[in-house]
Amino acid sequence: MILDTKSVGVCDAIENARAHITGRNLRYYVYTFGCQQNEADSEKIRQMAENMGYLSADCSESADLVILNTCAIREHAQMKAMSLLGTFKSQKKKNPNLVVGLVGCMAAKDEIVKNIKAKFPFVSFTAEPNMLHRIPEAVLSAVTEAERTFIIGEDSGNIVEGITQKRTSAHKAMVSIMYGCNNFCTYCVVPYVRGRERSRDSSAIISECKELVRGGVKEIMLLGQNVNSYSSDIKFPELLSRIAELEGDFIIRFMTSHPKDTTSALIDVMKKYSGKVAPYFHLPLQAGSNRILSRMNRTYTRERFWEIVQELREKIPGISLSTDIIVGFPGESEEDFLETLDMLKICRFDLVYAFMYSSRVGTAAAKMDGHIADTVKSDRLSRLFEIQDPISYEKNLPYLDSYVRVLVDSAEERDGERIYTGRTDTNKLVHFTGDAVSIGEFISVKIKKICGFDLIGDAVK
């Protein structure tokens, strides 16, 4: 059963609980770990909580409903969430009416849910990522019947439309266009926790974007584990063009792309709509050795990857590129690793997100031979950044003394001065000063200094 949280029944139940428990307003707090997909899901969770009658809390200490939206991508992410979860044991003692839930990717793993059932009695519910729409039902059982709910293994493969997001930003919006993943990269837990790939109807996506732009949104981020393998009645390049054709002054970003789906058709659309589609591409390489790429089941070679990089740079001058790298994949020899370093020198990415391989239960790589010692992995990681950091800095140098368009995100007072922060169309972080700057607007900034990965400048009229 799916509860309509807007229905009077649910609100009444929470209202009764509120009156019964304390007579004061009940509040919620949501923690988010992991990727943008989770950020977007947390916006949905916040909306569900508000529909139930909860108000937002400033911190978890003052909340009656605490939800951890978790990530399972690496062991470290899981450990962080589990130790945070542990801290609610004492809060629950102080406030027996506290409802704690653990949802998201960790909640799709049997061993974790078993552990929570047995050892974390103060956790009222868990919900796997594709079952978040059932959170209100679980909260309700906890509040009214003090019952625990564990929603796992129930993913129907359908997309539940119509859950609105309580958007955190007025000018930037995340729009999920597809869910799940079919690629089964051998190291990755995502296909297991998020299920099979499924794409939303293009008409639903386009009308959502239209609505957002009409409401003043300046940046739309199209989200999916594999955005560019989006496929419904139309494919991703067509979807991108249709969104780009919407009237209005806004920019479109998308992530994450898989090299296998990065076609000339897609790059041509980016070129055609260069005013609307950001000249930025996150293209995860993962490894520079063909042998390791094949063990990872990435289905492209370093040669093909380099071709894509060249095509992007030829067709979209000034484009910035970022990538993901995993060091210490099982069987990665020193020679393989040197090939990754070599690819970084060849491709010269603007930014690299690099991770030490983390073995995930149930994945193919976990069962492979040749697991690498942590000391070797961390040594490789620091050697990687020794190569990449100067490249990232050098990639920023051409911005010096140039004028860039920046979407203003935030402002803070520093030493009596108001410093604004925003991003260029190429996704570079810019800190700048200026008069009459408004958050959520595009502004022109003259870059006067490069500070590591960031640009420093002054707003110009």
Exactly one of 57, 71, 251, 430 binds ligand F3S (CB under 6 A); that residue is 71
Only segment of 302-310, 355-363, 375-383, 436-444 that touches ligand SAH (CB under 6 A): 355-363
Q: Which does 184 bind (CB under 5 to 8 A by kind): ligand SF4, ligand SAH, ligand F3S, none?
A: ligand SF4
Is 157 in a helix, a strand, or coil?
Answer: coil
Q: At what angle do helices 302-315 and 334-347 cross, to 10 degrees?
A: 10
What is the maximum span of the chain, computed from C-alpha positions, in angstroms?
66
Q: Are the beta carbons of 444 and 459 closer than 8 angstroms?
A: yes
279 touches, from ligand SF4, ligand F3S, ligand SAH, none (C-beta below 5 to 8 Å by class): none
**β-bridge mates for residue 442, sequence order:** 407
Backbone angles phi, psi at 37, to 5 degrees: -55, -40
Q: Are 333 and 284 in contact (CB under 8 A)?
A: no
Output 239 or 407, the one with its CB closest to ligand SAH.
239
Residue sitting closest to ligand SAH (CB):
324
Toward ligand SAH, which CB reaches closer, 99 or 321? 321
Cα radius of gyration rounded to whole Å, the chain: 23
Token pair, residue 112, equals: 């974790």
How is the beta sheet containing 320-327 ordered, strand by strand? 280-282, 320-327, 351-356
Q: Is residue 18 at the binding interface for ligand SF4, with CB under 6 A as the rule?
A: no
Per-residue x/- marks for ligand SF4, 234-273, CB under 6 A? ------------------------x---------------
Find tokens 């309700």 and name the residue.
Answer: 140
CA distance 135 to 2: 9
Nearer to ligand F3S (CB atom), residue 37 or residue 426: 37
Q: Which is nearer to ligand SF4, 324 or 379 (CB)?
A: 324
Stretch that binds ligand F3S, among 70-78, 255-263, 279-287, 327-335 (CB under 6 A): 70-78
* Nearest CB to ligand SF4, comparing residues 185 and 220: 185
Collapse the DSSP code of 140 into the 3-class scheme (helix H, G, I; strand E, B; otherwise coil) and give the result: helix
Q: If you ran DSSP here, which 8-state letter would residue 371 be given?
A: P
Instruction: In angstroms, give the least distance from the CB of 358 to ligand SAH.
Output: 4
| Closest by Cα among 156, 239, 164, 165 to 205 | 239
Stretch 183-202 residues interacting with ligand SF4 (CB under 6 A): 183-185, 188, 190-191
**CA pair distance 128, 72, nearest whole angstrom:** 11
Q: List the one residue from 130, 202, 225, 232 that touches ligand SF4 (CB under 6 A).
A: 225
- Write the CB contacts of 121 (distance below 8 Å, at least 6 apart in sequence): none
Contact partner, 360, from ligand SAH, ligand SF4, ligand F3S, none, Cβ < 5-8 Å per class: ligand SAH
- Structure-token pair, residue 191: 């296909």
Member of 108, 142, 181, 277 binding ligand SF4 (CB under 6 A):
181
Binding-site size for ligand F3S (CB under 6 A) equals 12
Residue 357 binds ligand SAH, judged by CB under 6 A: yes
Q: Tokens for 423, please give them.
A: 């991003």
**Least distance to ligand SAH from the beta carbon of 165, Å?**
21
CA-wise closest residue to 109 among 129, 83, 138: 129
> Which residues here bind ligand SAH, judged by CB under 6 A?
73-74, 187-188, 190, 225-226, 256, 258, 284, 286, 324, 326, 355, 357-358, 360
User: Which stretches of the chain bind ligand F3S, using CB under 6 A?
Assistant: 34-35, 37-38, 71-73, 105, 189-190, 193-194
Site residues for ligand SF4 per CB under 6 A: 181, 183-185, 188, 190-191, 225-226, 258
